[in-house]
Structure 1
Amino acid sequence: MKQNTIEKIEFDDWDSINWQKITQIVFSTQKEIWDASINNEKKLLRKIQTEAFNSWSFKLLAVKYVTNKKFIQTIAGVKYRTYIPNQYKIELAKKLIIEKKSFNLSNVDVNQYNLPLIIQDSALQLLVKLILEPEWTAKMEDYIYNDKLASQGNINDLVYNLCLLINSKKKYRYVVHGYISKIDTKINLDYFNNTHGYSGNVSKQLNSWINADCFTPNQLFTKQFPKQKKSIIGDLIFDILIHGLEWDLYRKYNLEYKCSLITKTVENCFPFKITRISDQIILLVDDIQNLFKVTKTVNNFLAKANLGLTHDSIEMASLEKGFDFLGFYIRQYRGYDKISILPSKSQMENHLRKLRGVIYHEYEGKVRATTNKSIDEVINEMNPIINDWCLYYKDFIHIEILRSLDWKISNTIYKWFKKK
């Protein structure tokens, strides 16, 4: 790891800090953590992580992220203009250490008194995440996607890989789509501590964030998607809790990957496949009997952490009927190998409802046109909504669907303009 102590970096003037150099140091250190985790060199891994916690570069980068305008608006929930002095940023980086305390965002009103505490706790969360996340990314199972891999740009790759599994040589016929939820009000901390393997202040700090319910601000254990990103550490702690689910299933059924001597490739002949993104789980099963067995095995594994798949959150269906996943409707028609991927009806209705909400409002129980907006204001509000929706579905949408939505939106705007 490169030397990056307080004497090596000039930080008296925040604007003169060489952020490119700091980013390179953080990236190279994260790569060393990833390599040590892949090679199972635990002593080297802990040594690098200890140095990273004392690294000035990691602290400066964490403070820079949580003090920018985007963080203040989205995570802290402050929409008014807030000025944070550069001297405060430097002082925050100096005293950024693990204090074994936490701050519950879901139970606190954001104001000028609580904002410094929120920024300090979020900076510590990001510092811990920058150091611990490469270790768990390296340990991640084949078809498990964490918050970083399941970002906006990789959602389409995730759906594409799921369709490859459905269309593999092993013909899967049934699917289980479920949301992980809490069985008890509290997470089993003993199981969590045994899973992550940390000790000392790091372990106590992670437990403190769990006790402060770091999952609620991110809408975990709910059917909301996409989820909020108010708690920086929440998704990492959740991934640690569920770590080993896929391997545990294969171990219970004595399954191993086998390589074909003819094609020189790894053949997938498993009777089931599992895919997880955040708190959503997809189980592909070839037989109805295996469907209930695998679901029971998954629940037994999740019960160790006081989690599980409840009956309210499970959707069981055949692939011929289709299922909703991440806003897509995925279906395989009988007698055809190709898979149909379309935006789900609920997502299209929500999209139209958002656009309609720009030019209409509810007053005294009646929906009325918002006539005090100009055409330019309406266009500026609608364009980001339309662009985000089209970018999300750009690889899996038919031109006829876009034409239908375009006609409905144009008709809505025309009626609003006549009332205006």
Structure 2
Amino acid sequence: MTAHAFALAMAALDVNGPEDDPAGWDAIDWRTCEDNVRRLRQRIFAASRDGDLKKVRNLQKLMLRSRSNAVVAVRRVTERNAGRRTAGVDRQVVVTGEQKAELADWIQNDAKPWTPLPVKRVYVPKSNGRRRGLGIPVIADRALQALTVNALEPEWEARFEPKSYGFRPGRGCHDAIVAIHTTSSRTDAKRLWVLDADLAAAFDRLDHDHICRSLGWFPGRGLVRQWLKAGVVEDGRFTPTGEGAPQGGVISPLLMNVALHGMEVAAGVRYHVTGTRAGKTMDGCPVVVRYADDLIALCHSREQAEQVKAALAGWLAPRGLVFNEDKTRITHLTEGVDFLGFNIRRYPNGKLLTKPSNDAVRRIRRRLSVEVRALRGSNADAMIGKLNPIINGWCAYYRIGVSKRVFNALDAHAWKLVYKWARFTHANKPRRWVVARYFGEFNSSRRDRWVFGSRETGYYLRKFAWTPIVRHRMVAGTASPDDPTLTDYWTRRRRRSNLPVDITTQRLLRAQHGRCPICRDLLLHADHEPRSPREWEQWLTATRRAVRRHAVTVWGAGTPDERVANRLIHTHCHRRTTSNGSPALPPTREPPGLA
């Protein structure tokens, strides 16, 4: 089907509807589909780990033809991704269940032959005030890329190096930070020299030929090459792409990891393979911690750091990549280094502390000031509704560091801002009146009478310091969710995770084993762990919309008495069941969970 034909088919949905049953999308058993995809990913992982390349290719072909994979891919790009309502150059978005069912049917039956369309160039602000260019594929290409990722990713998950943490399932920024801290936190630590490296425009300079050679005989390699060569449309002008992968593509982060696989070997990192120290870095070797295109090399001396830099520069060249010399430096940990928004520094007393970086603190202070200034003329509820998600997201990201003092300082800054806002709003009122109206013990669980809130609604502004500092448990070695031998490990890790949600929600998540009792699918989803305060902010906001707490009546055992119990359910599951006239939840004493 051509791109034009696909656009016509999508446009005709409002008139004719899909060829299949219009209610088919809502009737899909998502638990079964997700399990089918998960098991097939695990089989690909196991075959890749065993070196059975023929079996890997056969299983990948099966994954690319899988109906379960097709609907899961469509669900990912139309329901879970943050940019699900962003259109590409064809101006198509997929919103209704009928459109989603049609797209999944097209992927499975009619997508071949398919010529990818160019990506749409858009710009988003960066933390330093500059703009980052993103390439937004059309929704059909995004769905096909999600389908392809499920076939390609588990093969490479079995190969990827242990200290690669960016854009990988089960790994994130916090793992990278803890890896650095673990390496250099001991008082007798030897690796105290740091190569803090930045790659210049990495996504825009990736060499296409190198990526395609790395993929070997992957069944979808031709489509991957077409995505890389699809071109860019900006302000109505088409530009061909001879290098790079569009930031904004579903498959682009995976291709970046494929291109940079082998960096540890190139830097001279070696691991013990036998004995009690198996998996540990050999003495005398550097340690390289990488998050996508950001990397830190911990070395024994400045000379070793210079050698690592020279070795990596030669290794990066065939991949089309170079160091950004303005941002790449060699320093000692006593001077401190900023990585992923944290400052990691060894102090004279021998302690290594991980704190929010000064730049990160300046950015959040500036953002709070800008937001409060923009809300002049609004009411307290609007102020609280705007600032609380920002505070929650920032605290969720930085709660693993030594952040309490910074949290207190930010609370003082936020208090001054809202107090000035209140004085501006009621310029003719005395200070005592303003304080009595907007400040008090709004949070009944905190003995704090200086909480900003609304007397009319009872809503109040959260404080940074209310966030408890937690110790992040780093992912073990090369562990991957696709490894079928580590199912119990990942189940325990998920249950023990300290998500930045309220205590009641945490308790319900554990009681339900993270599953919705209606569709039996996972309640919380993320392709990858949020990698910045803004992404945590978006994830928490999306979670509040997607999951709701629902009270149900549960019969007591053998008695006519009833009690009310809370359950967490998907918002769309609740909406669907109540619209059908059926009870939102079955009466059951124990919440259904994992088998």
The amino acid that maps onto 1:18 is: D
Offset from partner CA, 1:290-334 (integer Å, 9 cap, x none): 221110110111101111212123132111000101111100124
CA deviations on 1:168-202 (whole Å, 9 max, x unpaired) are: 665012111122225897543332222121356x2
1:206 is matched with 224
Task: Confirm whether residue 409 of structure 1 aligns to residue 422 of structure 2.
Answer: no
Give the one of 269, 281, 292 matched to 2:283: 269
| One-letter amino acid of the counterpart of residue 268, structure 2 | Y
Structure 2 residue aligned with 1:250, among 260, 265, 268? 268
1:229 and 1:195 mapped to 2: Cα distance?
20
> Is the Cα–Cα contact under 8 Å of residues 11 and 17 in structure 1 kept in the other structure?
no
* 3-state SS of paired residue (1:129): helix
1:52 corresponds, among 63, 67, 70, to: 63
In the TM superposition, residue 417 of structure 1 has moved relative to its aligned partner by 1.4
Give the equivalent residue in structure 1 for 2:389: 384
Contact 2:313 2:323 in 1 (8 A): yes
Matching residue of 2:352: 339
1:177 and 1:314 in contact (8 A); partners too: yes
| Structure 2 spans left out of the alignment, 5+ residues | 1-19, 124-135, 235-245, 426-595
Report the residue type matching 1:288 in the other structure. Answer: R
Deviation at 1:375, TM superposition (A): 0.4
1:179 equivalent in structure 2: 198
Tell me which of the two structures has the higher relative contact order, counting C-alpha pairs closer than 8 angstroms and 6 or more residues apart: 1
Q: Tell me the secondary structure at the aligned position of residue 353 of structure 2.
A: strand
Could you tell me how far 1:410 is from its partner in structure 2?
0.3
Whether the 8 Å contact between 1:98 and 1:124 is mirrored in structure 2 is: no
1:138, 1:398 → 2: CA distance? 35
Matched, 1:148 2:183: no
Q: Give the equivalent residue in structure 1 for 2:377.
A: 372
Secondary structure of the residue that 2:200 maps to in structure 1? strand
* 1:188 has 2:207 as partner: yes
Contact 1:125/1:233 (<8 A) preserved: yes
CA distance in 2 between partners of 1:73 and 1:373 (Å): 30
**Kept in 2: contact 1:98–1:205 (CA 8 A):** no
Distance 1:281 1:183, change over 3 A: closer
Q: Distance in 2 between matches of 1:177 and 1:418?
A: 46
How far apart in 2 are the matches of 1:266 and 1:323?
24
Question: Cα–Cα, structure 1 residues 265 and 39, in superposed 2: closer, same or farther, change >3 Å?
Answer: closer
**SS in structure 1 opposite 2:259?**
helix
1:234 equivalent in alignment to 2:252: yes
CA distance in 2, matches of 1:164, 1:183: 28
1:353 Cα deviation from its structure 2 partner: 1.6
- Give the Cα separation in 1 of the matches to 2:397 and 2:76: 25
Q: Residues 89 and 397 of structure 1: is their aligned pair in 2 closer, same or farther, counting only changes over 3 Å?
A: same
Provide the residue aligned with 2:78 in structure 1: 67
Question: Where in structure 2 are the equivalents of 1:78-157 lying within 5 Å?
Answer: 84-96=95-107, 97=111, 99=113, 101-107=115-121, 118-149=138-169, 154-157=172-175
Change (3 A) 1:103 1:339: farther
Q: 1:186 to 1:91 in 2, by over 3 A?
A: same
Structure with higher helix content: 1
CA 1:185–1:44 in 2, change beyond 3 Å: closer, same or farther?
A: closer
| 2:335 aligned counterpart, secondary structure | coil
1:193 maps to amino acid: C
TM-score between both structures, scaled by the size of structure 2? 0.58
TM-score, L = length of structure 1: 0.80
Q: State the Cα distance separating 1:268 from its structure 2 match.
A: 3.1
Contact 1:331 1:341 in 2 (8 A): yes
Aligned residues: 375
Q: RMSD between aligned alpha carbons? A: 3.2
Q: Contact 2:271–2:279 (CA<8 Å) still a contact in 1?
A: no
1:13 corresponds to: 24
